[in-house]
Amino acid sequence: MQVKRRSFVCVLFFGLFWGAGGFAQAQPIRVVTTIPDLADITKQIGKELVEVESLTRGVEFMHAVPVKPSFVPKLNRANILVAMGLDLEISWLPALLEPASNPKIMPGQPGHVDCSAGITVLDVPKSVDRAEGDVHPKGNPHYNLDPFNGKVIARNIADGLGRNFPQHKAVFEKNLTAYLAELEKAVARWQTLATPLKGTKFVAYHSDWAYFASRFGLQQIGSIELKPGIEPTPNHLVGLVQKMQQEKVQVIIYGPQSDRYPKQLAGQTGAAVVRLQSTGGATAETDTYIKFIDYNVRSLLGALKKN
């Protein structure tokens, strides 16, 4: 009787441990990303092994994301944090990481994946002085707007996932290869589609289009902002209108800023106005990285065509 009871207890313990082990294995890898583009690419590489959530929705101005305490529990539970880096998230992410109490995902730790590693950075300032506005000392952080950089992002994410969960490395590499092939096809399509954009002169509200312009051959003539992060003065706008007329600027690009100045300038110069997305995820049309780039290329072509 006693032997039976012992056996029963042993079986029960074994069952519990086995069950717990199985449960632990079934737990997906919790990944938190700062922007939806990174969430989409992480999903493509991690597939069913990961549970991904982006902190921002894709509609925010990346330099003015509200520091929401609701982000803190998400960061607290994350196995991996995937961020753009280059100080894109400087105004809100460090303030959230401190109360999140998760040493694994702090900068420099294996769980903190910085997607900017290996990016050829544009607009690196020669001197860092706030007289030049809210400059980014490390250079322009909006590199996700160039689909070629999408490949670097994907590589970094796959490396980050593999570094933290080496047992799944082969799966991540396989999924990465498939995703890169898909992205490659899309890039070839965009390069053909965007041929008419080559040489297009544009004015941007904020200087976040450098990578997009460089890839598709657009030429930025000026910015609505006086300096990065500084609203324009009337004199600056008068000068900008003259410059736009001289240079025959075709389009004004803005993002999550007010449309007041873009529309005003368009009225004065006859240039087209288009609101593009600087990150994906805002709508169903931009809910994947590929759809997001596609949306920007098509929206810009559409605006130029209408004009």
Task: By CB under 8 A, name the binding residues for other proteins.
Answer: 56-57, 59-61, 64-70, 72-73, 76-77, 94-96, 98-101, 103, 106, 130, 133-134, 229-231, 256-258, 282
Taking the complex as a whole, the smallest distance from the CB of residue 90 to other proteins amounts, in Å, to: 9
* H-only helix segments in the chain: 2-26, 36-46, 71-77, 93-100, 147-164, 169-193, 210-216, 234-247, 260-269, 289-306
Please identify, using beta-carbon distances, which residue of 214 and 278 lies nearer to other proteins.
278
Cα gap 175→210, rounded to integer Å: 30
Q: What is the total residue count of the chain?
A: 307
CA distance 211 to 154: 17
Distance of CA 56 to the CA centre of its chain: 10
Q: Smallest distance from the beta carbon of 253 to other proteins, in angstroms?
A: 16
Minimum Å distance from CB 95 to other proteins? 5
Residue 232 structure tokens: 């324009």
Report the distance separating Cα 230 and Cα 243, nearest Å.
19
Residue 125 or 229 with smaller CB distance to other proteins: 229
Q: In what order do the strands lie in the sheet with 50-54?
A: 50-54, 29-33, 80-83, 112-114
Paired strand residues for 33 = 54, 82
* 70 vs 246, beta carbon nearer other proteins: 70
Q: Output 9 or 95, the one with its CB closest to other proteins.
A: 95
Contacts of 293 (CB under 8 A, 6+ apart): 145, 147, 150, 186, 190
Q: How far is the CB of 250 from other proteins (least distance, A)?
A: 26
Would you say 182 or 231 has its CB closer to other proteins? 231
Least CB distance from residue 210 to other proteins, whole Å?
20
292 with 286: CB under 8 angstroms?
yes
Q: Which residue, 25 or 70, is less far from other proteins as judged by CB?
A: 70
Which C-beta is closer to other proteins: that of 258 or that of 307?
258
Within 8 A by CB and 6+ apart from 179, the residues are: 41, 44, 45, 154
Beta bridge partners of 113: 82
| 191/141 Cα distance (integer angstroms) | 23
Residue 59 CB, nearest distance to other proteins (Å)?
Answer: 4
Nearer to other proteins, 111 or 147 (CB): 111
Output the smallest distance, CB 273 to other proteins, in A: 17
Question: Which two structure tokens, joined as six digits, stand for 145?
Answer: 């707007």
* Least distance from other proteins to the Cβ atom of residue 78, Å: 13
